[in-house]
């Protein structure tokens, strides 16, 4: 794990909330960079509210929304090598700043966007939602899929998206990443009989 993290990750003062506001601002920025870059390098979409990395363990059917199908990994805020950890109070402050900057999205147990009282984990946004939307739009344009109905499963799991950064994105996060296209009148979402979004048509 350490090989995927910058040298500052082993700097003990990083784990103690700094009292000086200017120093703490830089400290928050450093933590946000660490989280974003680590998750991007490992293609990790989730972290729990306490900082534990959650990896998708896809079954043969490719479903990723089942909580039982996720492997719990190491806590990024706990550095065993230097025996330092971040307090939950400071962890909450880091998450709050990330939400404010659009670097993560708080979600509840069901994978829906949540408020502070129901948040159990966070989607990590190493690209913001608008940038993800633009990248997905580029795929539709480059692959000649405009005006075609494409399921969220196809978008996330098909071989056609294998070389694209959004490949493997959980469907719940894909939904939020596609919403900006709907807001720009570039896309329409299609739902099943239960009201769940299952496909999208981009024009």
Q: How far apart are CA 106 and CA 122, in angstroms?
A: 5
Q: Are 19 and 109 members of one domain?
A: yes
Q: Are 79 and 163 members of one domain?
A: no
The pLDDT, as a whole number, for residue 3 is 62
CB 109 within 8 A of CB 120: yes
Measured between alpha carbons, how far apart are the two ends of the chain, in Å? Answer: 42
Q: Are 72 and 114 members of one domain?
A: yes
Q: How far apart are CA 1 and CA 5, in angstroms?
A: 7
Domain count, the chain: 2
Q: Which of 102-116, 120-134, 155-169, 170-184 has the lowest mean pLDDT?
A: 102-116
> Ramachandran region of residue 83, left (φ > 0), alpha (ψ -120 to 50) or beta?
left
Q: Are 96 and 179 members of one domain?
A: no
The pLDDT, as a whole number, for residue 114 is 80
Average pLDDT value over all residues in the chain: 90
Model confidence at 31: pLDDT above 60: yes
List, for residues 93-139, the tens digit of each pLDDT value. 999 999 999 999 999 877 778 876 667 899 999 999 999 999 999 99
């Amino acid at each position: 794990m350490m090989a995927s993290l910058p040298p500052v990750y082993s700097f003990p003062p990083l784990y103690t909330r700094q009292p000086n506001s200017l120093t703490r601002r830089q400290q928050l920025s450093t933590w946000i960079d660490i989280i974003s870059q680590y998750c991007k390098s490992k293609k990790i979409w989730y972290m729990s509210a306490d900082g534990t990395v959650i990896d998708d363990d896809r079954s043969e059917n490719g479903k990723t929304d089942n909580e039982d199908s996720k492997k719990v990994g190491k806590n990024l805020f706990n550095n065993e090598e230097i025996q330092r950890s971040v307090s939950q109070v400071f962890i909450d402050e880091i998450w709050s700043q990330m939400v404010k900057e659009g670097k993560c999205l708080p979600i509840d147990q069901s994978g829906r966007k949540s408020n502070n009282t129901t948040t159990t984990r966070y989607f990590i946004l190493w690209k913001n939602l608008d940038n993800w939307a633009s990248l997905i739009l580029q795929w539709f344009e480059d692959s000649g899929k405009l005006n075609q109905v494409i399921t969220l499963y196809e978008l996330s799991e098909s071989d056609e998206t294998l070389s694209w950064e959004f490949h493997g994105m959980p469907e719940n996060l894909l939904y939020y990443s596609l919403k900006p296209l709907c807001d720009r009148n570039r896309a329409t979402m299609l739902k099943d009989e239960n009201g769940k979004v299952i496909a999208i048509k981009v024009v």
